[in-house]
Copies of this chain bind each other. A is one copy, B any other.
Amino acid sequence: MTNDTNIAVIAPLVDRLRRSDTLSDQEVAALATTISGTRDHANRTVIVRPHEPLDRSLLLLDGFIARQTELSNGRRQILAIHVPGDFLDLHGLLLKSLDHEVMALSQARLAEAPHDGLRTVTTEQPHLARLLWFSTMVDAAIHREWIASLGRTAAGRIAHLFCELQTRLEVVGRADEREYALPLTQVDLADATALTPVHVNRTLRHLRENGIVDFRSGQVVIGDLNALRRIAGFNPDYLYLRQLPR
């Protein structure tokens, strides 16, 4: 694969990073050299197993991916949902292995970035290291916002997830203010919000009947974004997206 191809491949990542910081063409090129290739995963495939030794990080190009863990009561808890443009498992670069599992929530295309190359490029270009570090800090900020869901009701948790994904997907051109594709089942939603599938179903019905949002067959259709954000208590500051100049 030529490096030009790689530059095309990392476009969604670059889009996202440039919302938060400057990034020279030379740095983009350096980042592109770390990509060794791409691979595809079928829906519901396990991508990284817990405690498995890691020698590469992954860049999500297309599709949806979840980090998940099994709770002691046997339930699955989704800890994070990744969207295209997310650099996955930068953790692995330093933590060597993960304490949780990574699974495809849809057909997914990934680029691989071997750790050797990442170490070289981040050692030689501290600004790039800081950019990737920044990216993991935004992940942590998203985690904190999910912790805040402990204090949200069922409707608030679901609404917040819809708001967050709307904003994150919009940055990479996969959502507008009215709708976006989200190929999750109600069970996935239940595992992300720690609710039962039954109650997720009832809450979705309630949101639908009130014209707030309609989630059906993998599509989120937003009826009233302001109301949705009010129910969620959503404030996009934590995603650290600098306002784009108009």
Contacts and interface: CB of A to CB of B under 8 A. Distances in A.
Interface of A: 51, 67, 69, 71-73, 75, 77, 79-80, 90-91, 94-95, 99-100, 122-123, 126, 129-130, 133-134, 136-141, 143-144, 146-152, 156, 193-194, 230, 233, 235, 237-238, 240
A139 to B, nearest CB: 6
B151 A150 contact: no
A235 B94 CA distance: 20
Given A126-B122, A136-B133, A144 B95 contact: no
A143 B237 CA distance: 18
Contact of A150 (B193, B235, B237): B193
A240 B98 CA distance: 9
A122 B237 CA distance: 27
A237 B95 contact: no
10 residue pairs, one from A and one from B, having the closest CB atoms: A72-B233, A150-B194, A143-B143, A140-B140, A151-B194, A123-B126, A99-B238, A94-B134, A79-B144, A146-B147
A72 B94 CA distance: 36
11 contacts: A69-B144, A71-B233, A72-B156, A73-B233, A75-B151, A77-B147, A129-B133, A133-B136, A136-B140, A139-B140, A150-B193
Contacts of A72: 156, 230, 233
B94 A137 contact: yes
Contacts of A238: 99
Contact of A79 (B71, B80, B148, B233): B148
Contact of A133 (B94, B143, B194): B94
Nearest to A69: B148
A71 B147 contact: no
A95 B137 contact: yes
A77 B143 contact: no
A118 to B, nearest CB: 11
Q: Which of A94, A129, A150 has the largest count of B CB atoms less than 10 A from its CB?
A: A150
